[in-house]
A and B are shown apart, each in its own frame.
Chain A
Amino acid sequence: MTLNLTTTAKTFGDGTKALLPTNLKVNTGEIVSLLGPSGCGKTTLLRIIAGLETPDPGGKIWFDSDDVTDLPVERRQVGMVFQSYALFPNMSVRANIGYGLKMKKLPKADIEARVSEVLEMCQLNDYAQRAITALSGGQRQRVALARAIAPRPRLLLLDEPLSALDAALRETLRDELAILLRKFNITAIFVTHDQNEAMAIADRVAVMSHGEIVQSGTPEELYRKPNSTFVASFVGSAMHLAGEINGSKLKLKGGEVSLPADGTGCEAFVRAENIQINKNGSLSGYVDTVTFLGTHYRVGISGVISEPITSIFSGNKVPKLGEKIRLTIETQSILLLPSKA
């Protein structure tokens, strides 16, 4: 199913503009992530698509060629996975998953068959008869997903589906969710504030800030060609090289670097993996911190700009704390972004 949103906005009763007029198109089978810090409007956007919030007049929501703007949530045929899962404590796992099918008034035998199929798909067979309270966090998450997809919704919506889990489990389930969503072959939108989650699961990420989508693209596009200082620092945490830009030269506290183009009216950003420790480098700084991360070291360096910067170091000769080192930043890796007005 194709989802199409046109000039959809949301103003709350107290006048807060939670969502500015937004256009969004999600193609059949596409998995799109709405990524942004808390309060950026991503959950509001998801709830509008679900039918749990009414958009301001003028906004339209299309499921294929059906205008669903005025349909209440129970008639939109969307599957929804909530942050808290919202599993029904008065029903078993099986009954939870079958509830949507029961609402569709399907024959009992069909319900049983579909529930068994979904249980199998989500590897929940062993838990079918359990009470919700007897499940672990990860199992609950899978039941919530199974319940949402069982009635074959037109669109699957997930609101921070992994944020209620602890860090270790989150990473495992992130990959599992990515595999499951592709197996269901369903159009899906999921909201997250975690860029790793968005990148691991989504085909396309829409980055949101202050009630609007500021950039939308594949994870690679966002990482390599951010269109704003916000996207650069939010996705992949690029560091702002604050200094004096003079044509294609950037003068920093610890030395000078060449910019890939004329940087007038821009700000320069760089990512940690593009800062190399090199004894012939044009920049100098002091080692503040060295963190061993298994495959590489993360080195915190002061003195290059007024803030500390981070470099990824994967060699054998580890810099010592307090040591004066020289660095290079490859010209082509510097992101030049229009400075905020």
Chain B
Amino acid sequence: MFRSKTKLLQLTVTLTACAFLLIPTLMSVLAGVTVNYFKGVSSGLTFKWVLNVWELYADSIFLSLWLAIACLIVTLIIGLPAAYGLARHPGWLSRLLEEFISLPLAVPGLALALALLQLYGTLSGFRTSWTFILVGHVLYTLPFMVRSILAVLAAMDLKTLEEGAASLGASPWQRFRDIVVPNAMPGILAGALTVVTLSIGEFNLTWMLHTPYLKTLPVGLADSYASMRLEIASAYTLVFFVLIVPLLMAMQWASARAQRIAQ
């Protein structure tokens, strides 16, 4: 009897917490497909607002996707060799470098953006280009990529595996391609999904760096909240969810998988 009562209490608390978090979200999503929010759902359901969002903000959506892909490519190009180097030469210097790469995590996005603006804000061609935002995103997401790959690489005897491949005639590049990259794949995948998710959802930094012609998905969201009618803003939230939730779920799955290997 006591057991079932405790369980009931646990269930109630959990469900209440879930409701507290989910109901506002659901309300917002619902508002995005309601003809008139003030009249309620009885006014009918429509995709008009979603289409409106598409017409107004398609550029932002594409820019965000483009930025996320570019950011992924850059973090891969920098992050994979960096993680490999750190894993291959453990020691105090590597630990220090790892901490250094992780520094942007501790610095608020706004401060990071301000620093970038102070340093490069006067380079007008750069300031107004999408690559300026890209630099911010790379700074912010690189530690996630490096750490994710490093965790997987550190869990295996990389040195001996490479020596094994070398004794079979593999050159350093062949070792990297045939042994290091395939075995680091779970970490690369987890890192890649994290980078894409973070890049698409990043607001702080991007809000400081953006120009009226370069708005990303979350910046557009803030813009729609500020200047559009509530139904459009809500429809925007819906679009945002549709893009980010599957990524988030994939990221959770990939990270859990990489962590299992790293243990």
* A binding-site residues for B, Cβ under 8 Å: 50, 52, 72-75, 77-80, 82, 84, 86-90, 99-100, 103-104, 147-148, 151, 157
Contacts and interface: CB of A to CB of B under 8 A. Distances in A.
A86 B169 contact: no
Given A86-B161, A103-B174, A148 B167 contact: yes
Query: Most chain-A Cβ atoms within 10 A of its Cβ — which of B160, B169, B183?
Result: B169
Query: Most chain-A Cβ atoms within 10 A of its Cβ — which of B156, B157, B161?
Result: B161
A151 B183 CA distance: 23
B171 interface: yes
A82 B169 contact: no
Contacts of A80: 163-164, 167
Given A99-B178, A103-B174, A86 B168 contact: no
B143 to A, nearest CB: 26
B63 interface: no
B160 A73 contact: no
Contact of A103 (B156, B161, B168, B185): B168
B108 interface: no
Query: Most chain-A Cβ atoms within 10 A of its Cβ — which of B156, B160, B185?
Result: B160
Interface of B: 156-157, 160-161, 163-171, 174, 178-179, 182-183, 185
Contacts of A77: 169
Contact of B167 (A50, A89, A104): A50
Given A88-B179, A90-B182, A82 B168 contact: no
Contacts of B161: 86, 88
Contacts of A87: 164
* Consensus secondary structure, chain B interface: helix
B164 A82 contact: yes
Contacts of B170: 74, 99, 103
A87 B183 CA distance: 12
B160 A86 contact: yes
A80 B167 CA distance: 6
Contacts of A100: 168-169
A82 B163 contact: yes
Nearest to A75: B169
Contact of A89 (B156, B174, B178): B156
A100 B164 CA distance: 10
B163 A74 contact: no
Given A80-B167, A99-B168, A103-B174, 9 more contacts: A52-B163, A73-B166, A74-B167, A74-B169, A82-B163, A82-B164, A84-B160, A88-B165, A103-B170
Nearest to B175: A74
A151 B171 CA distance: 16
Query: Most chain-B Cβ atoms within 10 A of its Cβ — which of A72, A74, A104, A151?
Result: A74
B261 to A, nearest CB: 10
A151 B156 CA distance: 26
16 contacts: A52-B163, A52-B166, A72-B166, A73-B163, A73-B166, A74-B167, A79-B167, A80-B163, A82-B160, A82-B163, A82-B164, A86-B157, A87-B164, A90-B182, A100-B168, A148-B168
A103 B169 contact: yes
A12 to B, nearest CB: 15
A101 to B, nearest CB: 9
B132 to A, nearest CB: 39
A190 to B, nearest CB: 14
Contacts of A99: 165, 168, 170, 178
Contacts of A89: 156, 183
Nearest to B179: A88
A84 B171 CA distance: 21
A72 B156 CA distance: 24
A79 B165 CA distance: 10
Contact of A78 (B157, B160, B167, B178): B167
B209 to A, nearest CB: 40
A87 B161 CA distance: 7
B151 to A, nearest CB: 16
A90 B168 contact: no
B258 to A, nearest CB: 14
B169 A104 contact: yes
B91 to A, nearest CB: 13
A90 B179 contact: yes
A151 B164 contact: no
Contacts of A82: 160, 163-164
A87 B163 CA distance: 11
A74 B179 contact: no
B168 to A, nearest CB: 4
A151 B138 CA distance: 44
Contacts of B166: 52, 72-74
Nearest to A87: B164
Nearest to B261: A89
Contact of A151 (B165, B169, B174, B185): B169
Query: Most chain-B Cβ atoms within 10 A of its Cβ — which of A73, A148, A157?
Result: A73
B167 A73 contact: yes
A249 B163 CA distance: 56
Nearest to A103: B169
A81 to B, nearest CB: 9
Contacts of B163: 52, 73, 80, 82, 86
Contacts of A157: 167
Contacts of A74: 166-171
Contacts of B169: 74-75, 77, 100, 103-104, 151
B174 to A, nearest CB: 7
B87 to A, nearest CB: 16
